[in-house]
Amino acid sequence: MEAGNITTVTFVLLGLSSNPQIQALLFVLFLGIYLLTILGNLAMLLVTRADSHLHTPMYFFLSHLSFLDAFYSSVIVPKLLENLLSKWKTVSSVECFTQISLVIFSGATETCLLSVMAYDRFQAVCHPLLYVVAMNKKLCTGLVVASWVIGVGTSLVNSILLAQQNFCGPNLVRSFACELPPVLLLTCSDPYVSVASNLTTMAVLGLGTFVLLLGSYTRIIMTALGINSATGRRKIFSTCSSHLLVITNFYGSGVIRYMTPASGSVLEQVLSMQYSVVTPLLNPLIYSLKNQEVKAALRRVLARKPRLTL
């Protein structure tokens, strides 16, 4: 077959199953997950904005994470639902290329936001007297903007390099979505530059930010253990455990998926499902169920009586 670059070929998403009955069940399952994800993250976003008690750096960052999770899920799940109902699983080169770009953007941005949130907790626990000064509005805004800019830059670099590759077919993507690792398997040109760029991205953003996370939480744990008050220790661990659960869900699957050679295995699809579908669903639940401040704010928002205006 004649070689073509990513702008001139069509891809086929093999998806999760070819059995029509299983596809129908999966459609119902993922539709429910998607609706819960959007509702959960929008609720978290609205509560953090509407309640003045949550107008702090921690919840400012959390509101951006909630928006990003809703966006991330919307990049993956609607196309997954469409393919589950469609007889033909083809996806145009523009659609596939766009999805790859947005997945990289979402993953890179979320990695940076999680690191920023860890730094915020480090300042709050280890330097409480200087916290308000250190985490001022200008710095918080700058950290969020930097996270989004890094996400855009990472996406552009990796996407542009991928666009230089040639694809000879058959372009069967062994996944439920267009992502960099399974699409790179289909290239018939030397993917060295794209692979090197992907590994560099994971080394800098993945492992690099993980070191920052590990350092921040090591200091937080040491500080917490040095507190005499059991109530104080419990409050610190309760707040930080939510963040650690989110990090484990996201990093545990994402880093393994992008740092290991792609083979199209079932495990790889499970890992992709973990960070792109499951994690955005769990994040608002983790932060709301384990956070007394969020639950109290939600009760206050729901208790408000709507004002009638003439």
| pLDDT (tens digit per residue) in 250-293 | 877 887 888 777 777 888 888 889 889 999 998 888 877 667 77
Whether 75 is covered by a domain: the verdict is yes
pLDDT of 23 higher than 80: yes
Q: With the C-alpha atoms ordered 88, 94, 95, 99, is the resulting torsion angle positive or negative?
A: positive
25-45: b (≥16 Cβ within 10 Å) or e: ebbeebeebbeebbebbebbb
Whether 1 is covered by a domain: the verdict is no
Whether 301 is covered by a domain: the verdict is no
pLDDT band at 309 (very low <50, low <70, confident <90, very high): very low
Compute the average pLDDT of residues 239-257. Answer: 79
Compute the average pLDDT of residues 37-64. Answer: 88
Which position has the higher pLDDT, 309 or 90? 90
Give me the pLDDT at residue 28, please.
95
Specify the CATH number for the domain of residue 212: 1.20.1070.10
Mean pLDDT of the chain: 85
Q: Exposed, middle or buried: residue 293 (CB in 10 Å: 0-12, 13-18, 19+)?
A: middle
Contact residues for 199 (Cβ-Cβ < 8 A; gap 6+): 259
**SS3 of 126, please?**
helix
- The Cα 129–Cα 187 span in angstroms is 55
pLDDT of 70 higher than 90: yes
Q: Rank 56-70, 158-172, 198-212, 290-304 by mean pLDDT and report only the highest.
A: 56-70
Give strand pairing partners of 167.
4, 187
Amino acid 160 reads: I
Q: What is the DSSP letter of 187?
A: B
Helix (H) or strand (E) run with residue 266 in it: helix 266-273
Amino acid 248 reads: T
Whether 72 is covered by a domain: the verdict is yes
Amino acid 308 reads: L
Q: How many CA atoms lie within 13 A of 35 on its CB side?
A: 6
pLDDT tens string 120-156: 988 988 888 889 898 999 999 999 999 999 999 999 9
Whether 199 is covered by a domain: the verdict is yes
> What residue has token string 């939600």?
298
Two structure tokens written together for 270: 């499970």
- The Cα 5–Cα 113 span in angstroms is 33
Q: Which domain holds residue 158?
A: 11-288
Whether 50 is covered by a domain: the verdict is yes
- The Cα 94–Cα 72 span in angstroms is 18
β-pairing, 172-173 vs 10-13, is: parallel
Q: Exposed, middle or buried: residue 70 (CB in 10 Å: 0-12, 13-18, 19+)?
A: buried
pTM for the structure as a whole: 0.88
pLDDT band at 308 (very low <50, low <70, confident <90, very high): very low
**SS3 of 305, please?**
coil
CB 107 within 8 A of CB 272: no
Counting the structural domains of the chain, the total is 1
Compute the average pLDDT of residues 199-216. Answer: 84
